[in-house]
Each structure stands twice: as C-alpha cells, then as structure tokens.
Amino acid sequence: MKALVTGAAGFIGSHCAERLKKMDFEVVGIDNFSPYYSPDLKDRNAKDLKEAGIPIVMVDLREPKDYKKLDTDFDYIFHFAAQPGIAATSSFEDYLMNNLVATKNLIDFALKCEGLKLFTNISTSSIYGLRATLTEDAAPEPASFYGVTKLAAEQIVLSKTREQKMKTCSLRLFSVYGPRERPEKLYTKLIGCGFFHQEFPLFEGSEAHVRSFTFVDDIIDGVVSVIGKEDAIDGEVINLGTEQEHTTAEGFAIVEELLDTKIRKDIVPKRGGDQMFTKANIEKARRLLNYNPSTTLKEGLEKQIAWYRKEFVD
C-alpha cells in the first residue's frame, strides 16, 4: 500500500507519515518548505522522516507543473498542507492560494490516481467559529480567513464524493499540541519562554479561553483509523479531538509546574477570529472509527517538554 502525505515536513503531517511507515505503508511526503515558520524546524522534521525511510519531495501544491514530480499509484492521500492559523502576517491571498487553490489542484492530481481508495482532507475546528462545540451536521460559522478557506476547501473535496468521482472524507481537528508543534503556537512558545526565562506574549482575555487540547498521537490514531473504512466514511465530516476541556490558564500552570518555574506574561491586544471555546464532540468518530483519545494534558505536555529540551536546550 502506498500513501501520499502533504505538508509532511510540518507538525501533524510528519507524525502521520511516520505512523503510516510503521504500519508498513510505502510513504511519500511532499512539502513546499514555506518560510511561514522556522525553516530549521521543518528541516529537522524532514531529516527525521528521511532517516525513517520516508522521502520528502519539494512540491508546491499551488503550481500545477510540480505534480509532474509525483507518480500516480497512490492508494491513500492525506492532505495536511495548508496556510495555518490566524496571523497578522498572512494575507487573504495567502489563505486563498494555500488552502483553496492548492486543494483544488491536489484533487485534480488525485483524480489521475486510478487506484486511489480514499482522499482524506485534514480540516479544523475553526470551521465552527468562535464556539466550536457542535456536531458535524451543524451550520458552520467561521470567523477568520483561515476558517472560511478551510471550509471551502473541505467542500471542494467532499464534492468529489457527491459527483461519485472518488471516495473522500474530511477530519476536523481540535487544538492539536505535542512534539514538533509550530514555534508560534501556544505550548512550544510557552515552553521556550520557560526554559529561556523570557516573557510570554499573552493575548488579552485568552487565559479564560477553553480548549480541547488534543495530543498529536491521539489525533494520528484517528487519522489512520480511516484506512479500511472507505465505504463507511465516504463523504463524511468527522471531528477528532479530546472531550477534556482546559483553559489556557490551566495549561499555563501545568507547564510552569513541569518546568518548576514562573513564566512572566506580557499582555498584548486580543486578536480577531480567535476561538473562545472549543469542545470536541466525537460521538461520530467513536461510532465510525472506534476513536478513543486518552492522553491527559499533563502527560502530553511532559512529552512535548522532553522533545523541546532534546532539540533546543541540551
């Protein structure tokens, strides 16, 4: 069996590629090595994958000509690549091109893969809007360019099931954290501030935000569980995340406890589109995928701190 993983040098994509390899898949990873965040971190991830026998091909999904670098004999495609998050440095055109146009081009490529069993789109709880607590059949209310373009990309993917051109599904992920998390994300930045005794820039009011912080291994359990269930999940949207809820303040305190330090806070103006409350409703994932995330926030943060210490401190 052969799988293509887009965004394979990134946070969650790299973990998925490694898991598939351990499941005896032939895995090809692609990434455009965007400078959106530290090229050094992506290079580290790519090095780990190459050492595991997973080739990384430099492909920009926005460029149709780049697809000529790829074979068309894939059984599964896992589409992680995207313009992520909410950032003042990202324009609407960045989100449009990287999330929507790139996905449309990838679908065109996927339609040439005659043996393709399933196209799995990796989506986000940001589609639900500022309070992401709903089931998959609720009306989306995205409140950011990121959420809007990810919703549009999701619908383009699922339209291929409606057209009966290929089998598809879309997985909406909730607040993923863990080793290799991007440097601008909450816990990597917070852990770095703890180790190096720096102030942490905290968005005004965000300490009270509630999140389904989900450890990356639990997310990958759900992602790879789609394999072999193509008929049951064709055309479906499925939430993946933990039902455990924690405020940002609680997560902050756990990191301080594990590092045995106090981290100074620099309160900065709140940002538009930031979710106030997320709780993953995973009844559908339990029913269709037998999904059962089990890692506590403290257990996951212990592993993330160990990774950070090994990569950036020792």
pLDDT tens digits, 232-277: 999 999 999 999 999 999 999 999 999 999 999 988 887 666 677 8
pLDDT confidence tier of residue 84, bands split at 50, 70 and 90: confident
Sheet holding 210-211, edge to edge: 131-132, 277-278, 210-211, 246-247
Q: Evaluate whether residue 198 is within a structural domain.
A: no
Q: Evaluate whether residue 165 is within a structural domain.
A: yes
State the average pLDDT for the chain.
Answer: 95
Decide which of 37 and 48 is more confident: 48
Cα–Cα distance list, 191 to 109, 112, 178, 188, 265 (Å) = 40, 44, 11, 5, 13
Angle (CA) 144 85 186, round 5°: 125
Which residues, in sequence order, are CB contacts of 229 under 8 Å at separation 6+? Answer: 288, 289
Catalytic residue positions? 146
DSSP state of 65: G
Q: Evaluate whether residue 31 is within a structural domain.
A: yes
Residues 150 and 127: beta-carbon distance below 8 Å: yes
SS3 for 71? coil
Which residues, in sequence order, are CB contacts of 187 under 8 Å at separation 6+? Answer: 177, 181, 251, 255, 301, 304
- Least Cα distance to 52 among 25, 81, 12, 79 occurs for 25
Q: Evaluate whether residue 68 is within a structural domain.
A: yes
- Least Cα distance to 19 among 193, 125, 253, 178 occurs for 178
pLDDT confidence tier of residue 304, bands split at 50, 70 and 90: very high
pLDDT tens digits, 165-194: 999 999 999 999 999 999 989 999 999 999
Query: For residues 8 and 96, what is the distance between their CA atoms, to the nearest angstrom?
Result: 20
Q: Evaluate whether residue 170 is within a structural domain.
A: yes
Strand bridging mode 246-247 / 210-211: antiparallel
- Least Cα distance to 184 among 312, 84, 305 occurs for 84
Supply the range of the domain harboring residue 80: 2-174+215-242+281-294
Residues 61 and 5: beta-carbon distance below 8 Å: no
pLDDT tens digits, 5-26: 999 999 999 999 999 999 999 9
Q: Into how many domains does the chain fold?
A: 1
Angle (CA) 184 190 194, round 5°: 135
CATH label of the domain that carries residue 228: 3.40.50.720
Residues 295 and 177: beta-carbon distance below 8 Å: no
Burial 21-44 (b: 16+ CB within 10 A, else e): beeebbbbbbbbebebbeeebbeb
Cα–Cα distance list, 42 to 62, 175, 182 (Å) = 19, 20, 9
Q: Evaluate whether residue 223 is within a structural domain.
A: yes
Q: Is residue 88 scored above 80 in pLDDT? A: no
Share of the chain above pLDDT 90, in %: 86
Angle (CA) 11 14 19, round 5°: 130
Question: What pLDDT, on the 0 to 100 scale, is given for residue 273?
Answer: 61
Q: Evaluate whether residue 117 is within a structural domain.
A: yes
pLDDT tens digits, 278-296: 899 999 999 999 999 999 9
Query: For residues 229 and 168, what is the distance between their CA atoms, to the nearest angstrom?
Result: 11
Share of the chain above pLDDT 70, in %: 98
Q: Evaluate whether residue 87 is within a structural domain.
A: yes
